[in-house]
Amino acid sequence: MAKFVKPLTETQIKNLKPKATPYADGNNLYLFVYPSGAKSFAYIYTHPVTKKRVKKKIGDYPDLVLFDARDIAHKYSRLLADDLDPFEYADRLAKEKARQEMTLFDFAQQWRRLKLAQQENKQITMDREWKRLERHLFPYFGNCPLQSLTIFDLVEHFLPLYEVKGDTVEKVIGRLIDICNKAVSLGILQSNHLKDLQRTFTRKNDKPNPTIKAEELPQLFQRLAVSNNFIQAKLLVEWQMLTMLRPAEAVAVEWNDIDFTNAVLHLPAEKMKCTLKKPRAHSVPLSTQALELLAVMKQFNGHKKFVFAHRLKDGKPCSSQTANSVLKRNGYKGVLTAHGLRAMARTYLADQGVEFEIAEACLAHTYGNNVSQRYIRTNILELRRKAMQLWGDYVERSKKKL
């Protein structure tokens, strides 16, 4: 028959004297009173497996009051009744919580150290790969728990970059999958839930929109100069070139969309790429060359709704395929498309050292999370203006080489 233990009271505890053995409260809860006058609660029990006697401090009195100490002891005793050591159980829960909350960046640092320690990578190689991750992965997903990363979020984020830097994205995704594989081997992840990412970011055999190098622009202008295309059609090619707009967006521009005072074109969301899930309004800083082109177009269509109005259909823009037709008729079939003009401009900006985010914003590519998108829209318009002017100046120089 279990020995009855008379529970302690708060009044008793305040008056208890120091002694070598603890005061029992029942349910494996004990109070130690030290010569210094300090008091602390402990849980003393028999381990359910080893059968050894275990003593664990659970808190100092009066920071931990008697009522709360009893509540803790009650929870511990319930675990013991199920043959679970309460402290080992708590440790497992803490480790599981830490495992679930382990962020991508935190584990990537472990992955990096292991790679170098196991000599799987040379230091110079790892440094190069780490810088790539620091630029393209960690700023956007570094603070996310490994378990919370989803293929959907990663695909949505990286697809715009993949259009212009396929090699970079493939390398970043490859390293991310390697990081997750290591997390599986160390028990951080139960399985690599991101392994199928490589299916999305593996180059296909189909060809992208053909384009030419920026150095080949003078030859393009030479061909346009002697062609018998309508002047408005030729100017449309140049307009798409200068604004970096998609073909359908370029012809949809109305005079009311243009803020001549601030030299900015404002395209509402409904005129932007229709395949986007959530099209966003887009502002295009206009270079001096683009403004000069608009001045010429005013002579033709200043009285009409659209800058590039249809020649025969009132109130309608010209076809989005007009620029493609001009290029084909001037020997660029299979060599350059209207959409390829964007790729040419994007490559030129990259070669000139324009930052990735700024160049992407010039193309109206969505990149990053909502916060970074707001940053792009509100904080770097003038940086985009410099990039557009840099490109406009190059186009003008190429045109003057006729």
pLDDT in tens, 220-265: 999 999 999 999 999 999 999 999 999 989 999 999 999 999 999 9
Contact 138, 159 (CB under 8 A): no
Helix, strand, coil share of the chain (percent; to 5): 55, 10, 35
Q: Which pair of tokens denotes residue 355?
A: 């930052």
CATH of 102-200, one of 3.40.50.2000, 1.10.10.1100, 1.10.238.10, 1.10.150.130: 1.10.150.130
One DSSP character per residue, 293-322 reads HHHHHHHHHTTSSBTTB-SSSTT-BPPTTH
Peptide bond into 48 cis (omega under 30): no
Does the predicted TM-score (pTM) go above 0.75?
Answer: no
CATH class of 10-100: alpha beta
Q: Write down the CATH number for the domain with range 214-399.
A: 1.10.443.10
d(CA 255, CA 298): 9
- The torsion angles phi and psi of 267, rounded to 5 degrees, stand at -100, 120
According to DSSP, the β-strands at 29-33 and 23-26 are antiparallel
Q: What is the rounded distance in angstroms from the CA atom of residue 118 to the CA atom of residue 136?
A: 25
Please provide the average confidence, as pLDDT, over all residues in the chain. 88
Tell me, what's the pLDDT at 277? Answer: 43
Contacts of 245 (CB under 8 A, 6+ apart): 239, 253, 267, 284, 342, 364
DSSP classification of residue 254: B
Domain ranges of the chain: 10-100, 102-200, 214-399
pLDDT digits (tens, 9 = 90+) for 307-358: 999 988 889 999 989 999 999 999 999 999 999 999 999 999 999 998 888 8
Q: Which two tokens stand for residue 289?
A: 């060359």
* Residue numbers annotated as active site: 246, 273, 339, 342, 365, 375
Q: What is the pLDDT of residue 371?
A: 38
Report the alpha-carbon distance of residue 59 to residue 108 in Å, rounded.
36
3-class secondary structure per residue, the chain: CCCCCCCCCHHHHHHCCCCCCCEEEECCEEEEECCCCCEEEEEEEECCCCCCEEEEEEEEECCCCHHHHHHHHHHHHHHHHCCCCHHHHHHHHHHHHHHHHCEHHHHHHHHHHHHHHCCCCCHHHHHHHHHHHHHHCHHHHCCCEHHHCCHHHHHHHHHHHHHHCHHHHHHHHHHHHHHHHHHHHCCCCCCCCCCCHHHHCCCCCCCCCCCCCHHHHHHHHHHHHHCCCCHHHHHHHHHHHHHCCCHHHHHCCEHHHEECCCCEEEECHHHCCCCCCCCCCEEEECCHHHHHHHHHHHHHHCCCCECCECCCCCCCECCCCHHHHHHHHHHHCCCCCCCHHHHHHHHHHHHCCCCHHHHHHHCCCCCCCHHHHHHHHHHCHHHHHHHHHHHHHHHHHHHCCC
Residue 102: its H or E element: none
Q: What single-letter amino acid sits at 238? A: E
pLDDT at position 2 is: 54
End-to-end CA distance of the chain: 109
How many CB atoms are located within 10 Å of the residue 220 CB? Answer: 23
**What pLDDT is stored for residue 309 in this prediction?**
95
Residue stretches of the chain with pLDDT short of 50: 1, 205-206, 274-277, 368-376, 378
